[in-house]
Structure 1
Amino acid sequence: MRQPLPLDLPVILRPLVVRNQQFLEEATAVHPGLDLQRLSAEQRRQFDQVAAASDFVMQQTQREPGMLLELLESGTLARAYAAGELRARITAIAQAAQSEDDLARSLRRERNRQQVRIIWRDITRQAALGETCRDLSDLADACIDQAYQWLYPRHCQQFGTPVGRRSGLAQHMVVLGMGKLGAGELNLSSDIDLIFAFPEGGETEGVKRPLDNQEFFTRLGQRLIKALDPVTVDGFVFRVDMRLRPYGSSGALVLSFNALEQYYQDQGRDWERYAMIKARVVAGDQAAGAQLQEMLRPFVYRRYLDFSAIEALRTMKQLIQQEVRRKGMADNIKLGAGGIREVEFIAQAFQLIHGGRDLSLQQRPLLKVLATLEGQGYLPGAVVAELRDGYEFLRYTEHAIQAIADRQTQMLPDDEQDRERVAYMLGFADWAQFHSQLMHWRGRIDWHFRQVIADPDEDEAEGELVVGGEWSPLWEQAQDEEAACRQLQEAGLRQPAEALRRLTGLRTSPSLRSMQRIGRERLDAFIPRLLAQAVEHDNPDLVLERVLPLVEAVARRSAYLVLLTENPGALRRLLTLCAASPWIAEQITRFPLLLDELLNEGRLFSPPLAPELASELRERLMRIPEDDLEQQMEALRHFKLAHSLRVAASEITGNLPLMKVSDYLTWLAEAILDQVLALAWRQTVARHGQPMGNDGALCDPGFIIVGYGKVGGIELGHGSDLDLVFIHDGDPNAETDGAKPIDSAQFFTRLGQRIIHLLTTQTNSGQLYDVDMRLRPSGASGLLVSSLGAFERYQQNEAWTWEHQALVRARVLVGCPQVGKAFEAVRAKVLGKARDLDTLRSEVSDMRAKMRASLGSKISAAGTAANAFDAGVPFDLKQDAGGIVDIEFMVQYAALAWSHDHPELLRWTDNIRLLEELQQAGLLPAADAELLREVYKAFRSASHRQALQKQAGVIDASQFIDERRQVQRIWAQLGL
């Protein structure tokens, strides 16, 4: 926000007010209809403020005093324009023009009128930065488009109507606004950067001598520029700059869509990607323009993490700095250090790097991009606040500089009077105070810019090696094998020859030998940094063993190497996680896009809570077109991979205890299932219409996904599959209401098939989950989706005891709340019925014995033989006697045995809270219940550790001896 204008004008500016009052009085004296006395005191005060600040407004007032008085008396200067009001004015003016000269003159006069209005409102604090930029951009849009609409039919009359050779359709030009115009951020005296295009080649029709479409639109583009750009006695509309087009000033003025696409695909340079971020269709054929921008989107936004963008932006900044130094432009608030361009570079660096995957970054206005960077966690809120406030101060300063004389400049004035004008317009008493604040903001912006863009080596003292430079000779094989091994050994490697063999194997691998030059240079810059950080670890041999396969996997996509080179913190976190877990190393090697997650340490080690997870995924999918199934599936998979990595990283570093790990993994699965169900529902309904429910209303969706096993018990681990059951409440006798109706059973079966397809299909990012549907009624031979009634009948009349045990851990994950409540009622009825305890004990015990025999450790008879506790004998944490499944079976037995009299046992599906309920109900001694809880958590923690080490859930039998004996004791006490 700007400070208010000082109450008193600086002494040096007071003569300007007196002079300009006299000019206005003299001008109005010869116009009898103009009476300054009609102005209010507030309007006279505002006149004094503007008179002190802007020569341009005063010059326009002297030329046409009636314009200013009309603006004041009509109230136009005291209000913001309504949406579309400005365009309506320009449209009426253009349509009234009788000739090209008349059009040019009318647009220039209106432009001057609007500039007066905009500058007046800006100086007098009636318009904030957003309104000023919006009005200027709307003015440019309207002038360009209405000039084009006026010229096009007259051009067609002269040269014929251009027709596409392939489509046979009449062609219109597309005008792309670039830079600040494209972003809706024009300044008070900005030029407009334009690119002209047309959809397809062909020639004109309706004239004797047809023109090629290229020639037609070239001539039309020239007429359009002439209508806007030249300075006449009436001034200009906008200065037009066409140098951003392909090949710049030497290129064709207008190109076809195909020619543009081919150019950017084959020859597009990094700075052109940067420029194209803000491209917007400002005039001509909007529909065709949208198609053009879709064609060019892959050039701008890469589908992978593109850290090479930083190199390009760094190079651009260096070129700008050289130009600034050469021309003595340190006082340029746009291009100088800490200037407007540096804020733009920061925002656009993130857009170019991440925008291909994070669609929320694919937007033009800088302040909105900064807000997104904060909201999505790319930059801390405090950083964004400083960048935003500093940027707004610079833009207000830019407007103040340009308001003086309508000159296109960002240079701080060297004239004392103009300096005081700028200070006054920014709300400061004098230049010194203003300049101090300006330098503060420039300093903060430059500091943040260096954190994002600066070369990681640029702070190295002159003559010193860059980071990891001591390892360059080894990597580049500039020393013999003995010296290389000695260097590795002295750095702490226990097997230096093996490490050297791995490095040599990487260097000479077939995939790396065929790398392009730029990729090889990036690899050569990265490996020394990798070695420098690896040797800082306790076990550098293990680090290299796990990380070098990842390097080989990503080397040909060298943007990932740039990511790690540019972000030493990300590399450090990568090595730490890979050293701790081969599972993580394998995940990142298979899916290098996960490297993105290493950039933000706070986000990596702080997984979001359930509502935030669901909201984040919903927002991601909302940005993808509904008909783009491929991108939706990739987004779901990337979301799962990224958050799974966050949870694993948090567990390894001790930030998350076991119970929270399972909570997060379960919340993640629920968020994904919720969106998968929504996608599958939309797709199935689009084809067949909605089914009818048993209540006679249309289902929406009348369907639930029930989780069993680990997901039902909120105990998911890394790599767990999902045990699911699908249930619907559709009317079996009714059909769907779509164009291709089917009965409800078919509909819900297809819905279930679609859900499984979305979950299990392998894409470039793997699959979401393995899905196990064998716990549905009648197992693999049963229907994929059961009606609620059929499910209840099966559970009451046909289900085995082990199926009721499984139902203890069943809960509704996502779907229709009404059907979910009905399912809970069925579950409570089935589990809460009275049972013969002897029969129940026998059936539970028999089932457990069968599982031990088939799944337990053979060498110890599933932990029941005499050697079950001997060192060197394996103990299966899950299946052997005294292990995880024994505890689960005891809890399930207790729920089935006693929930008839203690319905509170049915409230929970997880073992920990069920054990708490058994304790509170007095059904288990407190000591035993506490012991089972702690042992269960200890076993599961060990199982998680094994999973992260990519090892089976089997440990040495010498571990957990007392815990296993206690579990077996309680098992025996229950009579199992």
Structure 2
Amino acid sequence: MTGPGRRSSTFTRLLRHGFTDPSRAERLLDLPELAALRDDSVLLDALGGTADPDLALHGLVRLVEAQAEAERQTLTTTLLSAKPFRDRLLGVLGSSEALADHLSRHPHDWQALVTYEAADLNPGVAEFEQGLADADGPDSLRVAYRRCLLAIAARDVCGTADVAQTAAELADLATATLRAALALARTAAPADAAQCRLSVIAMGKCGGHELNYVSDVDVIFVAEPADGADEHKALQAATRLASHLMRICSDTTVEGTIWPVDANLRPEGRNGPLVRTLSSHLAYYQRWAKTWEFQALLKARPVAGDPELGAAYIDAVSPMVWQAAERENFVADVQKMRRRVVDNIPAAHLDRQLKLGPGGLRDVEFAVQLLQLVHGRSDATLRSGTTLDALGALAAGGYVGRADAAQLDDAYRFLRAMEHRIQLYRLRRTHLVPEDDADLRRLGRSLGLRTDPVAELNKEWKRHASLVRRLHEKLFYRPLLDAVAQLAPGEIRLSPKAAGQRLEALGYADPTAALRHLEALSAGVSRKAAIQRTLLPVLLGWFADSADPDAGLLGFRKVSDALGKTPWYLRLLRDEGAAAENLARVLSAGRLAPDLLLRAPEAVAILGAPEGLKPRGREHLEQEVLAAVGRADDAEQAVAAARGVRRRELFRTAAADLIGSYGTEESPREADPGALVDRVGNAVTDLNAATIAGALRAAVAVGWGEELPTRFAVIGMGRFGGHELGYGSDADVLFVHEPREGVDDQEAARAATRVVEEMRRLLQLPTADPPLLIDADLRPEGKSGPLVRTLASYAAYYRRWSLVWEAQALLRAEPMAGDPDLGARFVDLIDPLRYPMEGLGEEAVREIRRLKARMESERLPRGADPTLHAKLGRGGLSDVEWTVQLFQLQHGWRLPGLRTTRTREALAAAHAADLIPADEAQILDEAWVLATRVRNAVMLVRGRPGDTFPSDGRELAAVGRYLGYEPGHVGEMVDDYRRITRRARAVVEELFYGA
């Protein structure tokens, strides 16, 4: 039948068989070359069964057109009569444009797909060597390689080889190819071949028998002199042979390329020699190798060259691989490796990354390899270089749950199948899921998804990635819970020794105590235990990512003991995505925040509220404190209530600071350290101001009820007035009063003094909270002067006796509590003093410089390192603040921007007024922010104030994490601190001292 009826019928059939461009397909089927095939319904059905029928038909046309007449007849006959061949050929053509190109260039190679014998279903290295045997040069090797690849792809797309078998066949083909390339190199340089014994060690996916279609083939070369040869000349010869082998495989010609051979996993990487002797390899691994290098060696196997030398290499390095978990820096190295994987993902492709993205292939491989390194030292059954084999062995040995292992196996196979089919299309190295619908449709159909390939593919991919992401943590920690929960008698579970090994490898310094905590948290059949068994695997992972996992786990146990019977607590952690991670970060980051939380466990609710970590303003805080004080029965209860608010809000501030500094999954690390410093300074200042206001109200109530017979104000000084308080800072203050109308001056003075004394008594009552110490030593006449003065007394003193240092101290004076009108009049009083008309005279400037120099020589603690003291050391807080304050004293009278109590604002104003160049202002600001953060970090980590880095290694690591340094980089942190403050000191020498 011809004409419109036939065309309409064919068009409909083509649509039904999955063609997306049936008009073009009709034209191709009408070509004379397909005359013998066009009316065969079996062929149409076979095309419809491919991943991309349009691509398959186009590839078939190109192949048929490339045949001579007689061979075309043979091809046509075979296609119509042999279903296995038809499925294999069309399956390849419908999945791989690159292999269709190969067949059109080498039209006889279709015959490689004809055989279908038992041996053909599971070929090994020997069969592939036979397939490459006729290759007599690099180009003929490339052609023979593609011919072998055709057969592997055919078995893959037709389902006669699963994804693991396909990966193993690709690795075996790579082995045969390396051997053939080495043979070609030896043939080209027989003299070199005679001088040395060379062995090629496969690494990575090739070594693990799980290669991709397109991948670098990682290798290491080891060589020894041939009998009687000079070692130096033998190594030179071996290097030439290895280089030639790499070129044969890696070079691109008209026949394309095979794959790059990558030798960068060798000792010293690309900076090291390409070839080493066995003893040289061993010397490096024994002395210099890092944990990741032993992890890489887990997959090492000899594949080409001298077999005895290759076996000797494996025998020598294997014991080192299985002792890697006992190395001193193993935990820090593992944390670094995990973070490097995440950090190396290009942000633009994160959601399409099949290998490195969240829930990707690397998550599975890394988890399996880490568990192998931890437990393989005592269990030889785990020492497989193949991911799925190792996963099966881990499940069989009870190191991971069988159900988890089965799910992970399934997910890994699906993701690897996706990776294979993506690469097969154009034989390009990629791990990105395509975005184009046509590509996604072909990919989905190649995986057997036919109803709605694009939607089904996206759904399955996300499901498997999500499962991997969830199991990635569970794989480490679930068996630990099973080991202590004792819920399923008879099941294989980790032995105490194995559980301890795993906890040690994950950074827990006291695995015995950690197991006790896990047992207390997860054992039993209560709802609380069941929820905690769900939460703990991921919490343990977050703890392990910190500087002190033990502290995190212990803190969680204490909080759970305090709140475990409270219904909202576990529900909060289970249902609020950010709450559990925030809690884990806070509990494992140091002592201050957990101590605050354990004295007010209900504050954990802050971590789950959307606005919970935002600091509350002073007005709101003061209202709450004053209301709590007003409800109290006596002054002691009143100040305890004020302290309760302060405790909760200090926790809020510390938690926000830690989460901003560390970052979480939902909230990445704060990009601007200065913003964190300002936030903490403002929050702690507002909180302490509100607390002092509460203590003042309580003190007044003791003797006078509602109203004191004199107006009274508290003036903040130093860091308090500058809104720059840290967690452990004292509050420097001045007290000012003014008798009310009709009140005798002496009575007013006695009342004011009694109030101050009562405030100080109340605030110094014993407490486990960080103390709030009020320091009035900056008052006129210092410690020998009266604690409180009238406004008129201050005016008289400053008019007659004031020294330049007092004017400098007043630069940071700001009212903080008490009578606002009196506070404002105090500011009016001191403004002419701190911003003197026409600035400072030369003698005053010299006096300030003398005071600063004396302070540097006298106040630095004995034995303190001046390059590391954050407050008084070189380029530290004092250096920057005195420099900025000198500019304020000199120019504040004419530049309103300098009239601020805040250091960073004044520094920015000085730059804006062209008093300080931009680069120097930036140097000073960076140093001041860093020194402030060091002090805050020390208080957060140790729970007590400090002006220099801790000496304890774990505390120092925690400070490093807070400052943004990865594990193992505390030396870099200290070096950076010295460098930044050294530059700041140079600026101070110029700007402050006039050097």
What TM bracket, shorter-length normalisation? Answer: 0.3 to 0.5
TM-score by length of 2: 0.42
TM-score by length of 1: 0.43
